[in-house]
Amino acid sequence: MSTIIDGKAIAAKLRAEIATEVKILKEKGIIPGLATVLVGEDPASEVYVRMKGNACQELGMHSVKHTLPATTTEAELLALVARLNSDPTIHGILVQLPLPKQINSDTILEAISPVKDVDGFHPYNVGRLMVGKPTFQPCTPYGVMVMLREAGVDLAGKEVVVVGRSNIVGKPVALMCLQQHATVTICHSKTRDLPAKVKGADVVIAAVGVPEMIKGEWIKEGAVVIDVGVNRIGEKKLVGDVEFAAASQRASAITPVPGGVGPMTITMLLYNTLEAAKKAGTGDR
Ligand code: GUN
């Protein structure tokens, strides 16, 4: 049986540390501020944005929510981003994706000031991640890395297999593992013999968004499994991208769904917002 890597517990510990730092900053007259922007009425996005705002307030941060209609034009959204870029009470800007189709996401992400890009999606910050320079690290992959650290996994020399090549998770998490000296393979829908690739992995990071696609029998005895997938089955049940019950018979450590990577994502957003506020406070940006 494997150890469960408890994302809820790790997130709670980190949030307590962030809350302490927020208090210290407040004594210096700085209140970390996050602006969230939601365009349209996608129910899942509404839930995520609400959770992000609530989490900020719980930790004593300032949060402002902008909700715009689905008919918003690119120019209108650009105007809001420009206002937030120059608002000194806002240290982090998060425009929830996906955006309605009349708006080009790249144009919007590139308009966000890189010093307020707490999502880590601006090409400037993506480039810095690529060359291994300090930057805002995108929240979900950052959360994965913190979980691996907290589970005591040393990645140097390990075979890491990332399943999924999205800009939000797969690609950045692969770069972060490489930065920690792992040998990294990125698998995707065109990969030949995925089971063989997974069977060779010391660490499997699954981020495909297909329910239980990674079979338990593919997991090498003693491997570490990080499941980024959150897939809704019917009304109530959530499952990951990995067959949890079978995989946990073989893995040395595994993240559950829910209660694994999920709680880490928002926590890393709060962490990035705190860092942005600290940098603004020292003029270091
Ligand atoms: N949509 C899904 N995940 C994310 C995320 O991490 N950030 C933003 N802005 N939108 C998302």
Whether 96 is a known active-site residue: answer: yes
pLDDT value of residue 284: 60
Q: How far is CA 106 from CA 59, 67, 130, 140, in A?
A: 31, 20, 18, 19
Which tens digit of pLDDT belongs to each residue from 175-208?
Answer: 999 999 999 999 999 999 999 999 999 999 999 9
Of the listed 6, 117, 119, 227, which one is catalytic?
119
Whether 133 is a known active-site residue: answer: no
Position 235 pLDDT exceeds 90: no
Q: Which of 96, 140, 268 most suits a substitution to test ligand 1, by most atoms within 8 Å of the C-beta? A: 96
CATH 3.40.50.10860 holds for 29-113: yes
Position 283 pLDDT exceeds 70: no
Of the listed 6, 96, 117, 227, which one is catalytic?
96
Residue range(s) in the chain whose domain bears CATH number 3.40.50.10860: 29-113
Q: What is the mean pLDDT of residues 50-71?
A: 97
Which tens digit of pLDDT belongs to each residue from 62-97?
Answer: 999 999 999 999 999 999 999 999 999 999 999 999
Residue nearest to atom 9 of ligand 1 (CA): 96
Q: What is the 3-state secondary structure (H, E, C) of 92-151?
A: EEEECCCCCCCCCHHHHHHHCCHHHCCCCCCHHHHHHHHCCCCCCCCHHHHHHHHHHHHC
The CB density around residue 203, as the number of other CB atoms within 10 Å, is 23
Place of tokens 């946990």: 248
Q: For 139-262, which CATH superfamily applies?
A: NAD(P)-binding Rossmann-like Domain (3.40.50.720)
The CB density around residue 280, as the number of other CB atoms within 10 Å, is 19
The structure's pTM equals 0.96
Whether 52 is a known active-site residue: answer: yes
The answer to whether 63 is a known ligand-binding residue is no
Q: How far is CA 249 from CA 14, 31, 54, 181, 206, in A?
A: 29, 46, 37, 28, 17
Beta carbon of 96 within 6 Å of any ligand 1 atom: yes
